[in-house]
Amino acid sequence: MLNTNSESLQNLPDNCTFSESDWGVLSAYWHPVAYCDEVKEKPVLIRLLDEEIVLYRTSTGVTAAKDLCLHRGTPLSIGEVKGDEIVCPYHGYRYNSQGKCTLVPAHPESPIPGQLCLKTYLCQESYGLIWVCLNPQPQGTMVDFPEFDDPEFQIINVPTMDWTVSSGRQIESFSDVAHFAFIHNDTFSREEDAVVPKYQVKATPYGVSADYISTVGNAPRPADTPYNEKDEALWRRVYHIYLPFTVRLKIHCPVPEGGIITILNANSPLSAETSRLFAVVARNFDQDQPVKDVIDFQIKIYSEDRDVVQRQHPERLPLDLSDEVHVRADRTSITYRQELSKLGLGRKFTS
């Protein structure tokens, strides 16, 4: 468990929607904030845990800094990147990749006050995503996504989706195996798939893993398709939840033999009740088929989830297991809630 430290609490964002202690815990983990190709020549404003952050790319990579010029509080995200520096639009102060001010145009010959240094955050590019940690001492395990660098796999980024729901609710929905027959019976499942066979769930050093084998496929399957013997084929889904809000799901397809689809579901907590979803799909077959079909299919599935999950109450995820009713099919969600509690998140509801 991470104890919230005084430094993180002092840094609580204005109008923070999290409890102080939940913010202190969550701020110590890596979170996805943008696709790498979204941050090019222009600065980009993102929000993470209620903090407004500017991302800008220089020759040394991407810098993440508090979106605030230290001179008169102008957001640097409305400025521009010039010559490897971000330039404030108001009086032209320039800051380098470390956030240090390099030029005060009104007094180019005078020494630059040492306080003119942006608050920067840990930032890395992995799996086509930019990840930020607001605490200089990160906790937890960065997700592993081996398919991303495997030449046998094709990588497809699904456009970002914003949800008015907490990250925890979205992660739980993505890892829930009992809703397929109801929410997704017009995309990949059907009403005959309602029974959830027994499956294995484990707490792991990084979070939770679940191994689920069923007849629920992962190919488009409109509701009016008649049931036939092909529908007896078994599909294996292996979930790895990296705490707090990233899941890698590997789907072993019966056809083609050896076919794998892996989905990196990386959720960014914008605030306690809003989140941004990044989904990266890797597949080792059908690579001559249109990428757009994969994107459209994923968006349709996620939209089906979002329509329901955004209506759940409470909006935040209850961590006290006595607050909702659980059955055997919910083993992943039970273990996920238990593991989130162990991080030190709120006993009642968390993001």
Smallest separation, CB 71 to ligand FES (Å): 3
Q: How far apart are the first and last CA of the chain?
A: 17
Sign of the alpha-carbon torsion through 212, 213, 215, 217: positive
Answer yes or no: are the C-beta atoms of 91 and 80 closer than 8 Å.
Answer: no
Location of structure tokens 């909006």: 315
Minimum distance of ligand FES from residue 86's CB (angstroms):
10
Interface segment toward Fe ion; rule CB under 5 A; list 89-97, 132-140, 239-247, 302-310: 302-310
Q: Does 88 bind ligand FES (CB under 6 A)?
A: yes
Residue 71 interacting with ligand FES (CB under 6 A)? yes
Min dist CB 180 to Fe ion, Å, is: 7
CA distance 184 to 217: 11
* Shortest separation between residue 42's beta carbon and ligand FES, angstroms: 17
- What residue 74 binds from Fe ion, ligand FES, none (CB within 5 to 8 A, per partner kind)? ligand FES
Partner that binds at residue 40, options Fe ion, ligand FES, none, CB closer than 5 to 8 Å by kind: none
State the nearest-atom distance from the C-beta of 41 to ligand FES, in Å: 20
* Range 89-108, binding ligand FES (CB under 6 A): 90-91, 93
65 binds ligand FES (CB under 6 A): no
β-bridge partners, 297: none
Q: Does 188 bind ligand FES (CB under 6 A)?
A: no
Q: How far apart are CA 165 and CA 310, in angstroms?
A: 5
Spatial contact of 54 and 45, defined as CB atoms under 8 Å apart: yes
Do residues 160 and 35 make contact, with C-beta atoms less than 8 angstroms apart?
Answer: yes
Shortest reach from residue 40's CB to ligand FES, in Å:
23
- Are the C-beta atoms of 250 and 262 separated by less than 8 Å? yes
Beta-bridge partners for 55: 44, 64
Sorted by sequence, the CB contacts under 8 Å of residue 170 that are 6+ apart come out as 163, 245, 267, 275, 277, 305, 309
The whole-angstrom separation of Cα 117 and Cα 120 is 9
Contact region for ligand FES (CB under 6 A) — 57-65, 66-74, 154-162, 328-336?
66-74
77 or 265: CB nearest ligand FES: 77
List the one residue from 50, 193, 305, 315 that touches Fe ion (CB under 5 A). Answer: 305
| Strand ranges inside the chain, DSSP E | 31-35, 44-48, 51-58, 61-66, 80-82, 85-87, 94-95, 101-103, 120-126, 129-133, 154-163, 200-203, 207-214, 235-242, 246-253, 259-269, 275-283, 317-318, 349-350
How many residues touch Fe ion (CB under 5 A)?
1
**CB 74 to ligand FES: min, Å:** 4
Alpha carbon of residue 140 to chain centroid = 15
Picked from Fe ion, ligand FES, none, the partner binding residue 305 (CB below 5 to 8 A depending on kind) is Fe ion
Binding part of the chain for Fe ion, among 127-135, 136-144, 232-240, 304-312 by CB under 5 A, reads: 304-312
Tell me the per-residue interface mask from 19 to 58 with ligand FES, x by CB under 6 A, - otherwise.
----------------------------------------
Q: Which residues bind ligand FES (CB under 6 A)?
A: 69, 71-72, 74, 88, 90-91, 93
